[in-house]
Structure 1
Amino acid sequence: MSFKITTWNINSVRLRIDLVAKFLKSVRPDVLCLQETKCPDDAFPLKRFHRLGYEHVALNGQKGYHGVAIVSRAPFESFKFDNFCGKTDCRHMSVVLGERAGLKDPLTLHNFYVPAGGDEPDPTINPKFEHKLSFLDEMQAHMGLRPADKERAILVGDLNVAPLEHDVWSHKQMLKVVSHTPIECEKLAAAQKAGNWVDTMRVHTPEPEKLYTWWSYRAMENWRVSDRGRRLDHIWASDAIAGEVSKIKIFKDYRGAEKPSDHVPVTATIEV
């Protein structure tokens, strides 16, 4: 049985609910993980998701900023969220899917929205960048993000770091730009290594092929021609399930939709 998980920084779920509906009708993932929902839980468009067949929803949202959500066609066994850096800014949520989702073995799914970090890559003068580095450090140290040997786990989300040379349009020009600075790349790699996570997107599309999931709003008219993208969205898998990820698809055309997010959906197909 194939099981599809999609991650998407939607940049306001209420503003782009029609675009989300179009995607769900077309692709029909089993689970959709959203970031930057910018929506308090009591204002989340639950009825629209229910009509689309996604009746099971886990929310960690706030008004105007941040926020993550996981919507599913099958029920969760449990869900929770963790706070990082002593803040309650709604950047993480995890669920466990099991027999009721048609899975023979439990699957833990983490959904993250890592802080963007502002514009200046200096933590001594930019508190947003300092927050981002601290967040990545806490991800590395978090014992809940270290799957046991046989634990089936997936970590997805907007991690706001393009870690590899070919995850950005120009490695040399981006080295001093937040999202691709050496310190960010090192800290994300350390978090990945601590949990022994497999970068499934790069398993299916190895370097040196370019791989992007985000294109700036500053290039609205010619974003496709200039193609100055970054891979900020990620799908990691624990060793126990990485070999079952059969396909990764980046839906680049959604960047060209009317009133798009600057991120596009990314879907992993898992043979369970």
Structure 2
Amino acid sequence: MKIVSWNINSVRFRLEIVERFLREAAPDILCLQETKVIDQDFPQEAFRRLGYKTIILHGQKMHHGVAILSRVPLAEDDRFDWQANREARHVGVKLANGVRLENVYVPAGGDVPDREVNAKFGQKLDFVERMTAWSASLDCPTILVGDFNIAPLESDVWNHKQLLNVVSHTPIEVDALNRLKDSNSWVDLGRHFYPAPARLHTWWSYRSPDWTVNDRGRRLDHMWATADVAAAATSHTVFEACRNWLKPSDHVPIMTEFDL
């Protein structure tokens, strides 16, 4: 079973490259973040034509939004409000084999890494804290995917020293993510297959005229699994070439294949 996670930064604006990716990579399940569309306007028919007939949505006008599209049966969907303000940032399902699949879009956190002067940063930390409380009580095999908006390791960013005070790589964010990881002994599948210090970027800013010249990337997108599911993982792929496609997202898809 191939499971993909991708922050698409508007599914309608980038539908052409999503369709191309699905034809080329043929995942069984696609988890999207930042779809930026209400459920009624989600382009479902385009996905159904490609065989993704099970479509689970949690959308929002113009902002945020998550979706799970599948060629295999899914059930028992849920939507957690880890932001505590009804933003559409999570959707989860249960696979036929009983494994949970949770798709999350963690807030970016603004520009200043200080919750006293930047409310968005505090909201981000609180979001991860709520996820941690949820994680600690998990009692079933689970895969957690999405745009975490945190690059935890020194090798997860293009320059550790220069980004220590930049939101997404600050020590307080890394500590919060590590607490989440430790709360249920999650396996970071990206680093399981590509141990640090291997380069493993998934995001490059739009601000750079040519992202390939200076390669200032960060690993903001993750796929984790509880130990029982991680044992069934057979490969992990970062589709870096998608960053050069027509009208690309600033994120690229990541995929883990499981023997489930």
Bin of the TM-score, shorter chain as denominator length: over 0.9
Deviations along 1:75-112, one digit per CA (max 9) or x if unpaired, are 212211110242100101100011xxxxxx31100000
State the distance in 2 between where 1:225 and 1:234 align: 24
State the distance in 1 between where 2:212 and 2:83 align: 37
State the distance in 2 between where 1:155 and 1:109 align: 6
Query: Alpha carbon RMSD of aligned pairs, Å?
Result: 1.0
Q: Which residue of 2 aligns with 1:255?
A: 243
User: Which of 223, 227, 238 does residue 226 from structure 2 map onto?
Assistant: 238
Q: 1:258 Cα shift? A: 1.2
State the distance in 2 between where 1:195 and 1:217 align: 35
Judged with a 3 Å threshold, the aligned counterparts in structure 2 of structure 1 residues 85 and 23 are, in CA distance, closer, same or farther, namely closer
Confirm or deny that 1:160 pairs with 2:149: yes
Aligned-partner residue type, residue 120 of structure 1: V
**Residues 97-246 of structure 1 correspond to what in structure 2 (within 5 A)?**
97-98=95-96, 105-143=97-135, 146-148=137-139, 151-219=140-208, 221-246=209-234
Check the 8 A contact 1:146/1:196 in 2, yes or no: no
Deviations along 1:96-138, one digit per CA (max 9) or x if unpaired, are 011xxxxxx3110000000000111111111111110111111
State the distance in 2 between where 1:234 and 1:246 align: 16
Q: 1:146 Cα shift? A: 4.2
State the distance in 1 between where 2:2 and 2:150 align: 24
Aligned-partner residue type, residue 207 of structure 2: R
Q: 1:152 Cα shift? A: 2.1
Check the 8 A contact 1:167/1:211 in 2, yes or no: yes
Check the 8 A contact 1:147/1:238 in 2, yes or no: no
Q: Which residue of 2 aligns with 1:102?
A: none
TM-score normalised to structure 1 length: 0.94
Query: Which sections of structure 1, spanning at least 5 residues, go unmatched?
Result: 99-104
Deviations along 1:16-75, one digit per CA (max 9) or x if unpaired, are 011000000001100000000000000000011100110000000000000000000022
Q: Which residue of 1 aligns with 2:33?
A: 35
SS in 1 for 2:13: coil
Aligned-partner residue type, residue 170 of structure 1: N
State the distance in 2 between where 1:203 and 1:92 align: 24
SS in 2 for 1:86: coil
Tell me how many residue pairs correspond in the alignment: 260
Q: Which residue of 2 aligns with 1:95?
A: 93
SS in 2 for 1:176: coil
Query: Which sections of structure 2, spanning at least 5 residues, go unmatched?
Result: none
**Kindly, what percent of the aligned residue pairs are identical?**
48
Check the 8 A contact 1:59/1:69 in 2, yes or no: yes
Poorly superposed stretches of 4+, deviation over 2 Å? 145-148
Aligned-partner residue type, residue 33 of structure 1: C
State the distance in 2 between where 1:64 and 1:75 align: 29
